[in-house]
Amino acid sequence: MNRALVAGVAVVALGSLAGCGGQAATPASTASARAATTAAARVVADILPPCPALPRVAPVPGGLPDLRLACLGAGPAVRLSDLRGTPMVLNVWAAWCTNCAREMPIMAAVQRQAGSRLRFFGVHYKAPKAYALQSAVDFGVAFPSVQDEPGDLVVQDLNAYAPPQTLFVTADGRVAGRKIGEIRSQAELTALIREHLGVTL
């Protein structure tokens, strides 16, 4: 899927919903609007895996913040402190970040290698949702992500001032390590995972 397809579906959906010349919607135009909306939803589903529905748990000292952000793709909003139970690679990325684009194929390859042993999750910030979804396609983002369009919350609560940044979070919710800047190889990422999370791939 590419940027043109995402944009095209969005245009079709908006055009169908708007109708023509202010006339009342006919059954045919209503059906077209529903079809366009469904197509747009499928595009979103193809871009990113859905965000998980998580039970609420209390934040832990040295853990992720009690910060609730909307899902970038499908699925419910996620409170970062609720991401527990599996060691996690938490990647902070942005649509305009060329280093993030270079890093994503590495993330995707190691995610496939890890399987169920690790959770991969993203925090996207400082760009509108439509731009983020287009970049998710272009970059090959393979994990669910949440969205902080202004970026203020991510900067304040995660201390992530410039993407990419990658946090390594234990199954019990502690932040065991952080890599600031681009991860440049699968070997580098697997070494960081082994060092901070004790998982050998």
Structural domain including 31 reads 3-47
Q: Does residue 188 belong to any structural domain of this protein?
A: yes
pLDDT of residue 151: 94
Q: Looking at residues 13-28, what average pLDDT do you find?
A: 42
What digits encode the pLDDT tens for the residues 98-146? 999 999 999 999 999 999 999 999 999 999 999 999 999 999 999 999 9
pLDDT of residue 1: 47
CATH number at residue 103: 3.40.30.10
Sorting pLDDT into bands at 50, 70 and 90, what band is 48? Answer: confident
Q: Does residue 63 belong to any structural domain of this protein?
A: no
What digits encode the pLDDT tens for the residues 167-187? 999 999 999 999 999 999 999
41 in the same domain as 92: no
105 in the same domain as 73: yes
86 in the same domain as 17: no
**What is the three-class DSSP state of 136?**
helix
DSSP structure class, residue 95? T
Please, which residues have CB within 8 angstroms of residue 73's CB and are 6 or more apart in sequence? 44, 45, 47, 48, 49, 50, 51, 133, 136, 144, 145
